[in-house]
């Protein structure tokens, strides 16, 4: 059977009957999904262009509109493929090259030059000098007592012959890890990977110069099996093979990113000698093939937290086969090595005063440092700020509403790449709620008013016009569209925002209580991640996502996890620092904390001005 | 197509037309061969019992007798298999369990206990103790700062669960290399391997007690591709795939030996944590997949000499996947790690006075130590002493004549396992030549007399009767047989002995000259290897294989290579000693030595008494 995917126009030969979502995954077609194939989120909607259109099942009927069903829309996660099929994928993701949307990265970093490359002219063997090939290579190196990676042995005679005894050796910790013909000393690369639940980012560094060369990002291909870590853990639990599948997906993803670098810059994979990897604890587990099952239930025990050095070829990552992949340490079951990366990037442990750092994602991780302590916790903020669980939510991809400004009765939208709006992403969502709060369209309990009440309250008529009741209940129209559904913010979306921001704010309160300090004592708040970069600080304060603090004290630090990974990539000292700092962190388990539930509920309301 | 092998009664399904010798190799049937499939040595003779008997080719006609051809004998190396076939393999080798024929091994050895096993009861995780599985295991170990092999990570949750938190950890260099459920502290094994060109020996040691448990040996399965290292190097050169094949053959052989241990002693492979390996330089190269091509031509450059630590699972050896395989260092292109093993076993470097050590095999390696120097050389003795190149030569397997005594006109043969004589092995060959020299039947130039001259010279008539001219020229009948060919020593066999012993003696002379000492200065001669164990010292002196020295100074040291490998297996100090000693050795290249050819030719004659 042949399945063709539009608009990418990719065809894939299917061996056996399967669900379209799985087939798409095999064909490396990204189809968004956030409920893990349960048919609940409706994100994996596709349109059948040719082939048999099956009757919609119960889940499809409850998620899709009648019109959509009529037009051949189905859910990829519910669609059995039994014959040739052509489908149009709606959210084609973005695949390679989201550089423009990536958050700030430093151009250069300090480095320990732990990979050294030497151009060598090797003496020929004679009856007077019968030293082995390996010995003659070692003799040509500066200093003494080098060893060589055993797996290089078979290749050495060929390289010496082809290179006419002129070779380049790459050395790490006095071990020769690569032998290459000719002079390749200029080519010495490393990649820092940040495995986000949603996006995997690769940062290619020149290890000779400590300079960032290129950034590439891909949607995490595990996404089709669930938007958040919990649904992926459940997916893994369904079938022992799924753990292997999830590991393979990350490997594939790394290799795609690497291939992108190789193609774009005309590099060879053998010249990539190091990688450093961060990710949340679930991602770390899936990357190493460790079963994350117990991360989904109390007491949330990880299999491991410590850092690891993994072999490139064993991990099937397309770098030099002797290349080393350094996985930074996790802190706890839901505070992963991405947060360790944030510790490095912010240097929060060594700053004067009291600092708070927040990484807002599906999990909101919060770090509080000061007074010789460092605390971390994770709150299940839910995927609202990443666009999932929001009716028309989407990731920060082209077409996403990323900013909302309501003035003089007009709604102005800022859409990524200035395209027609297709959905709303995290920063747009916060803006929208903030603006509607300001205008009194949402009250502090989160209730969306209706048109009549709005007009009574003297709200601008053009805004009141936007209040209506849609299929999902009360909603506010952000943008009218002709052919397609209007872009709206629903009452339920607002509830999701309240849950998310309540969880984070509740976590912050507990951390402050644990340390016995007040909001006013905070010297700074670091916002990490893409979200932290694009969020309007005023809006975040307005909805009560962040504690009341002057906006100058709120500092966006870019892709802190990725910067931390890059620092560890370039410097073994930073790796050691990461190991020590991760151990120093006191983990506060909110689910085991007596006050958290109270604080969480308290924080769900919006601040009253 | 089905090929059945008798007498083992093993059937093998053949996918495509191939030479019988290759098929036998795939079916793990050992068929002797010493010319590398050239149809010259005739050792791979098989009898076709059913199936098409092809016309003999040119090579078969020159090697087999007419009667043999009539009876369906063919050479396995020349026999194309095109349909079902049943063949009787004549020299079925000996396969597993040649223990009784193996040379002396010590029962116990000193050890550094570098593998430690700990039985641990692991605390359960709680909300108050959220430490990771790995951390709780590490916490249960004595002392601090352990690491863990990354490949164990995926298995840990299962083992903790199955073992009810009671587990055993195997630790090496403060790294956890194995986690096993329950208490397995009693099971801690290692294997020393000696890869001989002809025989591969495995010695299983209890690493807890430093005690030898079992020895197992197999014919080196590479033998079908050539009896000596040079023919195997040429075989590898024929086709790039052959290098991979040769490596796979050694891996298979190791795994067979391991399986034999596991079956006989009811052990599990995961409890084998270490292996130490010695072999000549060609064997070391083939084991690591390094092309030995240049070992066959001047200046005989090896790819490597240094020791290596290899990973069990990468090497596809069926020990614990984290198990380490230590390959001892080679000394030069034709002085391998087996000789390094001999250095350890004899401790020759630290002995008082002047010592000579000789390992007689296809290559005769000679070490001379004393006066603060240590010299080594290798002489191409040829395979005569291993039974190849001798008309009725065979390995020291059951049925081999291993001793010859001629008294009062009678020839008394000592045959291994007291069987009917089937051929003659190295020690028998030396005895035979020695006795015939004593009786004047061979003169000092190596010439075999004829019946008439013998009778004229007054040689016992019953001995003179044994002198005759056979199909291969002049010969002396050692044993008359009824159905089969008589067991004879031919003039050509004697020439082969002269070449072999001349090479070794010539090497000894050069070594003495290099050091400026005389034969009388020697305090001892060590004889290593199976040969050294079974050889009659008087006979070796009589034929001039060894320099004239009192027999008390000639010391057999058993399987020195295997003992050395075992010492390195049990002690990391011995590994370091091996590394340093191998570097200290001055290698004398005989082929580049001005006097060697002269001394070699001089030494070809037998001593005149």
Nearest residue, CB atoms, B126 vs list A299, A310, A330: A299
B334 touches B507 (CB < 8 A) = no
Q: Do A154 and B290 touch (CB under 8 A)?
A: yes
Question: Is the domain of A68 the same as that of A121?
Answer: no
Is the Cβ of A127 closer than 8 Å to some Cβ of chain B? yes
**pLDDT above 50: residue A584:** yes
Residue in chain A nearest B243 by alpha carbon: A154
Q: Which residues of A209-240 are buried (b: 16+ CB within 10 A; e: fewer)?
A: ebebbbbbbbbbbbbbbbbbbbbbbbbbeeee
A chain contacts of residue B333, beta-carbon cutoff 8 Å: 130
Label residue A36 by pLDDT band (50, 70, 90): low
Is the Cβ of A586 closer than 8 Å to some Cβ of chain B? no
B56 domain-assigned: yes
Confidence (pLDDT) at A360: 86
Question: Is the domain of A131 the same as that of A177?
Answer: yes
B513 domain-assigned: yes
DSSP letter at A605 equals S
Residue in chain B nearest A587 by alpha carbon: B130
How is residue B284 written in tokens? 């070391």
Q: Put residue B21 in one of left, alpha, beta given phi > 0 → left and psi -120 to 50 → alpha.
A: alpha
Residue in chain A nearest B149 by alpha carbon: A308
CA distance A143 to chain B (A): 17
Is the Cβ of B580 closer than 8 Å to some Cβ of chain A? no
Show which of A153, A181, A209 is a domain's final residue: A181
pLDDT in tens, B376-397: 999 988 778 877 789 998 877 7
Confidence (pLDDT) at B95: 44
Q: Put residue A113 in one of left, alpha, beta given phi > 0 → left and psi -120 to 50 → alpha.
A: left
A560 touches A529 (CB < 8 A) = yes
CA distance B315 to chain A (A): 10
B107 domain-assigned: no
Find, among B450, B462, B407, the residue nearest to B431 by Cα. Answer: B407
Confidence (pLDDT) at B94: 47
How is residue B241 written in tokens? 């795939």
Rg (CA), chain A: 26
A50 touches A86 (CB < 8 A) = yes
CA distance to A193, A328, A335, A337, A362, per residue, from A561 (Å): 9, 10, 12, 8, 15
Question: Is the domain of A489 the same as that of A380?
Answer: yes
Confidence (pLDDT) at B102: 56
Mean pLDDT of A357-361: 89
ipTM of the complex: 0.84
Is the Cβ of B244 closer than 8 Å to some Cβ of chain A? no
Confidence (pLDDT) at B90: 74
Question: Is the domain of B391 the same as that of B429?
Answer: yes
Confidence (pLDDT) at B99: 38
The contacts of residue B45 (CB under 8 Å, 6+ apart) are B64, B68, B73, B74, B75, B76, B90
B335 domain-assigned: no
Q: Do A304 and B132 touch (CB under 8 A)?
A: yes
Taking each helix axis as running N to C, give the angle between helix A240-265 and helix A281-288, from 0 to 180 degrees, rounded to the nearest 10. Answer: 90
How is residue B22 written in tokens? 């290759």
Confidence (pLDDT) at B97: 39
Q: How many helices, marked H, and strands, marked E, lie in chain A?
A: 18, 29
Residues of the domain holding A234: 189-327
CA distance to B37, B38, B82, per residue, from B58 (Å): 14, 11, 19
How is residue B559 written in tokens? 């399987």
Confidence (pLDDT) at A258: 96
Q: Do B306 and A132 touch (CB under 8 A)?
A: yes
Label residue B32 by pLDDT band (50, 70, 90): low
Nearest residue, CB atoms, A150 vs list B131, B134, B308: B308
B568 domain-assigned: no
Question: Is the domain of B352 the same as that of B414?
Answer: yes
A110 domain-assigned: no
Average pLDDT, chain A: 91
Q: Mind spelling out the 3-state secondary structure of A470-524?
A: ECCEEEEEEECCCCCCCEEEEHHHHHHHHHHHHHHHHHHHHHHHHHCCCHHHCCE
Is the Cβ of B142 closer than 8 Å to some Cβ of chain A? no
Question: Is the domain of B370 the same as that of B241?
Answer: no
Confidence (pLDDT) at A592: 80
CATH code, A40: 3.10.20.30
Answer with the residue of higher pLDDT: B321 or B61: B321
Is the Cβ of A594 closer than 8 Å to some Cβ of chain B? no
C-alpha span between A334 and A182 (Å, rounded): 47
Residue in chain A nearest B589 by alpha carbon: A127
End-to-end CA gap in chain A: 61
Show which of B73, B89, B105 is a domain's final residue: B89
**pLDDT above 80: residue B40:** no
> What are phi and psi for residue B167, nearest 5 degrees?
-140, 170
C-alpha span between A566 and A574 (Å, rounded): 10
pLDDT in tens, A139-184: 999 988 899 999 999 999 999 999 889 999 999 999 999 999 999 9
Is the Cβ of A244 closer than 8 Å to some Cβ of chain B? no
Helix, coil or strand: residue B477: strand
Label residue A14 by pLDDT band (50, 70, 90): confident
> What are phi and psi for residue A474, nearest 5 degrees?
-65, 140
Q: Do A150 and B587 touch (CB under 8 A)?
A: no
Percent of chain B with pLDDT over 90: 71
Confidence (pLDDT) at A103: 62
Confidence (pLDDT) at A101: 46
C-alpha span between B364 and B531 (Å, rounded): 11
A267 domain-assigned: yes
- Candidate from A41-55, A196-210, B249-263 with smallest mean pLDDT: A41-55
Q: Do A125 and B299 touch (CB under 8 A)?
A: yes
DSSP H or E run through A462: helix A461-464
Burial environment of residue A374 by CB neighbours within 10 A (0 to 12, 13 to 18, 19 or more): buried
Q: Do A151 and B294 touch (CB under 8 A)?
A: no
CATH code, A251: 3.30.420.480
Is the Cβ of B302 closer than 8 Å to some Cβ of chain A? yes
pLDDT in tens, A57-104: 888 888 888 888 999 999 988 888 988 999 998 754 444 334 334 567
Confidence (pLDDT) at B41: 74
B chain contacts of residue A157, beta-carbon cutoff 8 Å: 290-291, 293-294, 303
Helix, coil or strand: residue A124: coil
Find, among B528, B550, B514, the residue nearest to B369 by Cα. Answer: B514
> What are phi and psi for residue A6, nearest 5 degrees?
-105, 155
Show which of A125, A152, A181 is a domain's final residue: A181
Is the Cβ of B304 closer than 8 Å to some Cβ of chain A? yes
pLDDT in tens, A524-537: 999 997 777 788 99
Question: Is the domain of B369 the same as that of B483?
Answer: yes
DSSP H or E run through A401: strand A400-407
Confidence (pLDDT) at A97: 39
Label residue B91 by pLDDT band (50, 70, 90): low
Confidence (pLDDT) at A335: 97
Among A16-20, A21-25, B530-534, B580-584, top mean pLDDT goes to: B580-584
Question: Is the domain of A122 the same as that of A160?
Answer: yes
CA distance A110 to chain B (A): 27
CA distance A588 to chain B (A): 10
Question: Is the domain of B302 the same as that of B214?
Answer: yes
Question: Is the domain of B527 the same as that of B412?
Answer: yes
pLDDT in tens, B518-555: 999 999 999 997 777 788 999 999 999 999 999 999 99
Place of tokens 């990484």: A359
Q: Do B301 and A150 touch (CB under 8 A)?
A: no
Question: Is the domain of A84 the same as that of A121?
Answer: no
Question: Is the domain of A255 the same as that of A273?
Answer: yes
B308 domain-assigned: yes
Confidence (pLDDT) at A107: 81
Among A43-57, B105-119, B149-163, top mean pLDDT goes to: B149-163
C-alpha span between B14 and B26 (Å, rounded): 9
Interface test mutation site (partner B, options A127, A287, A292, A591, max chain B beta carbons within 10 A):
A127
Confidence (pLDDT) at B36: 60
Sheet holding A199-206, edge to edge: A211-219, A199-206, A189-195, A272-279, A324-327, A308-311
Confidence (pLDDT) at B227: 76
C-alpha span between A366 and A60 (Å, rounded): 38
Is the Cβ of B151 closer than 8 Å to some Cβ of chain A? yes
Is the Cβ of B30 closer than 8 Å to some Cβ of chain A? no
As for how many domains chain B has, the answer is: 4
Mean pLDDT of A448-471: 95
Mean pLDDT of B204-224: 91
DSSP H or E run through B259: helix B240-265
A chain contacts of residue B293, beta-carbon cutoff 8 Å: 157
Nearest residue, CB atoms, A333 vs list B129, B130, B156: B130
**pLDDT above 70: residue B514:** yes
Q: Do A133 and B301 touch (CB under 8 A)?
A: yes
Is the Cβ of A303 closer than 8 Å to some Cβ of chain B? yes
Confidence (pLDDT) at A457: 93
């Amino acid at each position: 059977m042949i399945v063709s995917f539009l608009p990418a126009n990719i065809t894939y030969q299917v061996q056996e009957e399967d669900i379209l979502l799985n087939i798409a995954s095999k064909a490396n077609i990204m189809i968004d999904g956030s409920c893990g194939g349960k048919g609940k989120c409706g994100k994996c909607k596709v349109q059948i262009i040719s082939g048999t259109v099956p009757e919609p099942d119960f889940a499809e009927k409850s998620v899709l509109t009648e019109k959509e069903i009529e037009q051949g829309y189905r859910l990829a996660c519910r669609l059995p493929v039994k014959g040739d099929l052509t489908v149009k994928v709606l959210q084609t993701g973005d695949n390679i090259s989201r550089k423009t949307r990536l958050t700030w990265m430093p151009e250069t970093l300090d480095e320990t030059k732990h990979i050294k490359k030497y151009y060598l002219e090797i003496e020929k063997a004679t009856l007077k000098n019968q030293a082995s090939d390996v010995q003659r290579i070692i003799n040509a190196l500066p200093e003494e007592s080098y060893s060589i990676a055993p797996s290089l042995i078979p290749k050495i005679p060929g390289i010496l012959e082809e290179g006419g005894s002129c070779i380049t050796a790459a050395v790490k910790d006095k071990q020769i890890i690569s032998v290459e013909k000719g002079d390749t000393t200029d080519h010495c690369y490393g990649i820092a990977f940040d495995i986000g639940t949603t996006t995997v980012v690769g940062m290619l560094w020149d290890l000779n110069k400590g300079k960032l060369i290129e950034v590439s990002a891909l949607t995490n291909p595990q996404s089709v099996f669930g938007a958040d870590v919990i649904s992926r853990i459940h997916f893994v639990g369904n079938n022992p093979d799924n753990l292997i599948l999830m590991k393979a997906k990350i490997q594939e993803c790394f290799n795609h990113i690497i291939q992108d670098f190789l193609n774009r810059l005309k590099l060879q994979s053998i010249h990539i000698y190091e990688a450093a990897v961060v990710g949340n604890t679930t991602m770390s587990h899936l990357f190493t093939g460790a079963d994350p099952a117990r991360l989904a239930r109390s007491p949330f025990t990880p299999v491991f937290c410590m850092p690891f050095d993994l072999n490139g070829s064993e991990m099937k990552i397309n770098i030099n086969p002797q290349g080393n992949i350094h996985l930074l340490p996790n802190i706890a079951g839901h505070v992963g090595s991405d947060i360790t990366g944030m510790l490095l990037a912010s240097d929060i442990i060594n700053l004067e005063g009291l600092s708070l750092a927040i990484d807002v994602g599906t999990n909101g991780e919060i770090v509080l440092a000061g007074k010789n302590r460092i605390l971390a916790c994770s709150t299940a903020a839910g995927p609202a700020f990443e666009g999932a669980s929001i009716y028309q939510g989407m990731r920060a991809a082209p077409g996403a509403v990323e900013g909302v400004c309501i003035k003089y009765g007009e709604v102005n939208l800022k859409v990524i790449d200035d395209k027609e709006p297709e959905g709303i992403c995290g920063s747009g969502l916060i803006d929208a709620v903030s603006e509607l709060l300001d205008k009194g369209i949402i009250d502090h309990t989160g209730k969306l008013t209706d048109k009549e009440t709005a007009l009574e309250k003297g709200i601008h008529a053009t805004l009141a016009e936007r209040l209506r009741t849609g299929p999902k209940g009360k909603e506010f129209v952000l943008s009218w569209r002709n052919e397609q559904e209007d872009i709206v913010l629903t009452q339920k979306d607002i509830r999701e925002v309240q849950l998310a921001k309540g969880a984070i704010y509740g976590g912050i309160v507990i951390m402050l209580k644990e340390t016995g300090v007040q909001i006013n004592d905070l010297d700074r708040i670091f916002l990490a991640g893409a979200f932290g970069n694009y969020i309007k600080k005023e809006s975040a304060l307005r909805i009560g996502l962040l504690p009341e603090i002057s906006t100058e004290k709120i500092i966006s630090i870019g892709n802190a996890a990725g910067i931390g990974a890059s620092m560890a990539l370039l410097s073994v000292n930073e790796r050691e620092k990461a190991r020590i700092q991760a151990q120093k962190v006191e983990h506060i388990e909110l689910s085991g904390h007596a006050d958290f539930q109270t604080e969480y509920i308290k924080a769900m309301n919006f601040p009253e001005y």
